[in-house]
Amino acid sequence: MAQPCNLPRGGWRRLQQTGGICLAVALCVLALAPASDATSASPVGINYGRVGSNLPPPQAVLPLLQGLGIGRVRLYDADPNVLRAFAKTGVELFVGVPDQCLAAAADPAGAASWVKENIQPFVVDTKIVALTVGNEVLTGNNSALMRTLVPAMQSLHSALAAVGLDKQIAVTTAHNLGVLGTSYPPSAGAFRKDLLPYLCPILDFHARTGSPFLVNAYPYFAFSDDPKGIHLEYALLEPGYPGVPDPNSGLHYTNLLVAQVDAAYHAITAANSAASRVVEVRVSETGWPSSGDAGEKAATPQNAARYNSNAMRLVAEGKGTPLKPGVPLRAYVFALFNEDLKPGPASERNYGLFKPDGTPVYELSYKLPRDNSTFGGGGGRGNGTGGYNNNTDGSSGYYGFSAASRVATGRWTWAGATVAGVVAVLMVAAY
């Protein structure tokens, strides 16, 4: 089924941060907001980007995910070949609505058409749990696109509701942490004032629909910008690091990722105290590059392996942040493959856990527990068998990148798999 929008490849950017506060909405409305049942309780996922000239076909991805023990995947578009490859696998998908589709989706008729063409044909067999509308739109310096974001989210949610899918599929958008004007200490977290006219309606939308607030959080960038002020062990999430106290709240932060998440929580509270009671922050991208340009000295396989192993362990423990200890941290690692067509510094092309031939970029020291995976759970609303369609191929690009704020990047690697074993599995899947 044809995509209604073209899918250009996005660009690399790093954004400056400024500060913010906004009006709260009515307490009674938000207190009664329904909780969406569309999103998974299992915490660890991975981003499957396809801005590469040499990537394997989508059906060859399934053995790699099974080996990792990951059953949650974020896509950056609704490519039908990819959606068919995940049919009847039980893998939970966040499906992207590309930036260039937002203008059409802001119109109710356009949103209904997009859902009809890109979601309804697949939802019986494919476990689609959320739509991510655009990627880092508010920090992309495109005012026309920014104005269409909330209307597109609202229209897509209404389109899903019209066909009975609004309880099954959440609607959200992923933000660069550059939406924060202040992020340190976490208790001082606040949104940029110029973005509040957009963020306040988004928070209202999340509170009303029960969908999560997504952030692309990268400790790598914070460390790279201030290697003398931020300890490497703190940025790498090393469990032995003694941590940093927040002088205002008295809370203790043992790693930078949870500090970034709590800064987002504090920003939500400062902007909309009513929404903060019901809106959950989730990490839609995080990782660490395994290679970079001469000036990107922290981008090494060793650091990437340490960060992603620690991130997986941290999330799999099911614990919350210091501010929200009762809300398990949920995160998607960026990314599955190194992608050779991404512009920008060399690090942008080296976030993958795997090389395009399916061999690990490095070995992780941590392997996810079996219960993290959703494989074998069947498809969307139908009676899935746990198999998958081998008769698909092709790969298209996606819009948006991991490195849009000053926070971090990284990746993981599959521990316990031999290179020969991975290649053999890929060969079987490809044929």
- Beta bridge partners, 244, equal 253
How far is residue 411 CA from its own chain's centroid? Answer: 13
How far is residue 282 CA from its own chain's centroid? Answer: 8
- Tokens coding 247: 């002088």
Among 92, 233, 280, 285, the one annotated catalytic: 285
- Tokens coding 343: 């512009």
Give the number of residues written for the chain: 431
**Taking the chain, what is the end-to-end CA distance rounded to the nearest angstrom?**
23
Give the Cα separation of 410 and 43 in Å (integer): 17
Query: Which residue from 147, 51, 74, 98 is spatially nearest to 351, judged by alpha carbons?
Result: 51
Taking each helix axis from N to C terminus, what angle separates 301-316 and 256-271, rounded to the nearest 10 degrees?
60
Query: Which residue from 278, 297, 339 is spatially nearest to 31, judged by alpha carbons?
Result: 278
What's the Cα-to-Cα distance from 337 to each of 96, 344, 354, rounded to whole Å?
18, 17, 5
φ, ψ for residue 264, nearest 5 deg:
-65, -40
Instruction: Name the DSSP class of 387.
Output: -
Give the Cα separation of 328 and 307 in Å (integer): 19
Instruction: Tell me whether residue 339 is one of the annotated catalytic residues.
Output: no
Instruction: Tell me whether residue 285 is one of the annotated catalytic residues.
Output: yes
What residues are annotated to the active site? 136, 285
